[in-house]
């Protein structure tokens, strides 16, 4: 199984070796980590170069929109050229805390989609309370494909993204008792799903309240198998194929 999206940082984990060892022991073959601030990009590139099972996507998160300069975008492009990154992200729009810097967010999002197009890389999309604008900006880049990470919208929205060539990232939220995400899983089926933890956040049930890590991917796979009434092996095989194809993992 592949954890297609998480964050690994020494700030969150005392022992990164142990985090990776535990993930491998629980049946995870590959982990895609995301660096999404200037600092975490540097750290993520370093971590991924130290472990053959770790792949990396880089890109500035929408919450960084006020901080990122033209020079920072040039630095990102240089990093894309210099390291074997498998995608750009997480990038997108986040209106949860307000819309004051909406134009800066949109500008940063478009600039990074241009890089994805230029370097033929998939994108990992963060969209929070911003579905309409996310869809309309992605439509400006019909050649770019990617992952709608930590999807939490309606089944109708999921179908729109899929029709645009995107995969849907399903994480720990699907295991929460009050979550309606099962309706999305039922509707879209296993061929459009990527497994992800978004660790260290969003720990699946029954470990909510503790720090998340890639070792919990099987809990998410188990829940999806349950919803779709298929075997865990099938969830594992098909989501691994989905991720391998989208991110061109070797």
- What is the contact surface with Ni ion in residues (CB under 5 A)? 198
Q: Tell which phi-psi region holds residue 141, choosing left (phi > 0), alpha (psi between -120 and 50) or beta.
A: beta
Q: How far is the CB of 231 from Ni ion (least distance, A)?
A: 28
User: Which residue's CB comes closest to Ni ion?
Assistant: 198
* Residue 229: φ, ψ to 5°: 55, 45
R_g (Cα) of the chain, nearest Å: 17
Q: How far is the CB of 233 from Ni ion (least distance, A)?
A: 27
Q: To 5 degrees, how large is the angle CA 60–CA 243–CA 138?
A: 45
Q: How far is CA 237 from CA 28, 207, 225, 230, 240, in A?
A: 12, 25, 12, 12, 5
Nearer to Ni ion, 32 or 235 (CB): 32
The number of beta carbons lying within 10 Å of the beta carbon of residue 126 is 25
Nearer to Ni ion, 63 or 205 (CB): 63
Q: Are 188 and 158 in contact (CB under 8 A)?
A: yes
Comparing CA positions, the residue from 36, 16, 135 lying closest to residue 87 is 36
Nearer to Ni ion, 6 or 121 (CB): 6
Q: How many angstroms separate the CA atoms of 244 and 250, rounded?
A: 8
Nearer to Ni ion, 172 or 225 (CB): 172
Nearer to Ni ion, 9 or 29 (CB): 9
Task: Give strand ranges (E) for 20-82.
Answer: 30-35, 54-58
Q: How far is the CB of 235 from Ni ion (least distance, A)?
A: 21
Q: How far is the CB of 18 from Ni ion (least distance, A)?
A: 21
Q: How far is the CB of 239 from Ni ion (least distance, A)?
A: 18
Q: How far is the CB of 19 from Ni ion (least distance, A)?
A: 16
Nearer to Ni ion, 147 or 198 (CB): 198
């Amino acid at each position: 199984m592949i954890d297609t999206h998480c964050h690994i940082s020494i700030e969150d984990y005392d022992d990164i070796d142990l985090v990776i060892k535990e993930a491998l022991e629980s049946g995870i073959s590959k982990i895609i980590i995301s660096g999404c601030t200037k600092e975490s990009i540097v750290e993520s590139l370093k971590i991924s170069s130290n472990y053959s099972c770790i792949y990396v996507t880089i890109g500035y998160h929408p919450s960084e929109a006020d901080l990122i300069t033209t020079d920072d975008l040039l630095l990102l492009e240089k990093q894309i050229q210099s390291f074997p990154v498998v995608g750009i992200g997480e990038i997108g729009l986040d209106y949860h805390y307000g819309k004051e810097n909406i134009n800066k967010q949109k500008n940063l999002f478009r600039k990074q989609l241009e890089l994805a197009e230029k370097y033929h890389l998939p994108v990992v999309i963060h969209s929070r309370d911003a579905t309409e604008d996310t869809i309309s900006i992605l439509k400006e880049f019909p050649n770019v494909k990617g992952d709608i990470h930590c999807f939490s919208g309606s089944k109708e929205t999921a179908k729109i993204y899929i029709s645009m060539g995107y995969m849907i990232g399903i994480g720990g939220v699907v295991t929460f008792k009050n979550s309606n995400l099962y309706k999305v899983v039922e509707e879209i089926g296993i061929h459009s799903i990527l497994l992800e933890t978004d660790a260290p956040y969003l720990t699946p049930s029954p470990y909510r309240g503790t720090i998340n890590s890639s070792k919990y991917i099987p809990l998410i796979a188990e829940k999806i198998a349950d919803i779709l009434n298929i075997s865990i092996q099938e969830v594992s095989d098909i989501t691994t194929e989905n991720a391998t194809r989208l991110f061109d993992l070797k």
